[in-house]
Amino acid sequence: MIPVISIIVPVYNVEKYLSQCIDSILAQAFIDFELLLVDDGSTDGSGRICDEYANKDARIQVFHKKNGGVSSARNIGLEHVQGEWITFVDSDDWLDLKYCQILWEEVQDVDLLFFSVSLHYKDGGKQIRYLGGKYCDDYDSIQEEILLLKSNQQKFEFFGYTWNKVFKASIIYEHKIRFLVNLSYREDEVFTTEYCRYIHSLKVLPVSLYNYRVLSTGLTARKKSSYELLLLAQSISESIPYFNNLSLIIYEYNRFLSFGLRAICLSDKKREKIKLIGYFNSYYKQCIKCRFPVRKLFQVLFGYPKWISVFLVFLYEKYLVFQTRI
């Protein structure tokens, strides 16, 4: 029988927490799901634990692969899911017992579902980050809600993770959406942003269903490379033309400039810096294909008169051309 919900769990060296994660999934009141455990070349007992659970429950599939990062592990899961809806769980986290039941009840009329999360700290502390309830089924309100979630006005990066969402499998496969394997920083956000290009409805639940374990060894503390930051800038430039909300475009355009210019500044090699500037220039041209001219963004962002905005854009483009010829 084809399952309704597919749960993808990338696994890497988490034998200390893995059983709690899997047990919370198997204990769900709603049982019409499949669980895909993708062992990303673990060197501890995580792979063995996955196999032991699979031998006990037919709903579990296990995939063992060479270590390639969380994005490649999730992509393996996406290649094998059968469910109508897809959700992701980190292998050191755990679910509320009614997670699948509530998701199934709430996801029927939407393309993307967000829900609240409980944060659990090493000292035993707990903090629930609630989202305000919202349902959007028109393009303008969807983009307004995306901006709210992206700009962290809820004081938590709800948009920037995949584990607090439910995705429609048909949209992912129709548009061939996958995680970028060369990116290990904000890869969740890039995936979700690309997915949001194609949605027609969005729902936000003010209910905490996911338990997130806050560990001090997160990727956010890792130094980012120039090419990772440039890859982020590229992904933003590709998504901006899909938006028509001026505030959202301005927000994304600011982030495009931030990541792109940081990528260039991080490089201390002249030849590499020239190459990065060339790439950034091409992404910049893609970025300005949006419905609002860049001079309009300068006017709104800085309050400049139109003629100054046009002049600044002209100088910037000339600067990029000059840098690539040095």
Q: Could you say which of 205, 220, 235 is where a domain stops?
A: 220
pLDDT tens figures, 161-198: 899 999 999 999 999 999 999 888 889 999 999 999 99
Q: Considering the entire predicted model, what is its pTM?
A: 0.85
Q: Do 181 and 314 lie in a common domain?
A: no
Q: Are residues 88 and 38 in the same domain?
A: yes
* CA nearest to 119, candidates 31, 192, 215, 21: 215
Residues 97 and 211 in one domain: yes
Looking at 220, 236, 269, the residue that finishes a domain is 220
85-88 vs 165-168, strand pairing mode: antiparallel
Based on the fold, state whether residues 141 and 19 are members of the same structural domain. yes
- The CATH number of the domain holding residue 124 is 3.90.550.10
Domain region containing 271: 226-325
Residue that finishes a domain, picked among 202, 220, 238? 220
Same domain as 115, residue 11: yes
Q: For the chain, how many residues are written?
A: 326
Identify the bridge partners of residue 203 per DSSP, sorted by sequence position: 113, 135
Q: Are residues 183 and 276 in the same domain?
A: no
* Position 314, amino acid: F
Residues 17-74: tens digit of each pLDDT: 999 999 999 999 999 999 999 999 999 999 999 999 999 999 999 999 999 999 999 9
Domain count, the chain: 2
If asked whether residues 206 and 232 sit together in one domain, one would say: no
Same domain, 85 and 216: yes
Evaluate if residue 220 carries a pLDDT over 50.
no
Q: Are residues 137 and 259 in the same domain?
A: no
Statement to judge: residues 216 and 256 lie in one domain: no
Angle at the Cα of 100 from the Cα atoms of 208 and 8, rounded to 5 degrees:
100
Do 150 and 34 share a structural domain?
Answer: yes
Token pair for 91: 């292998």
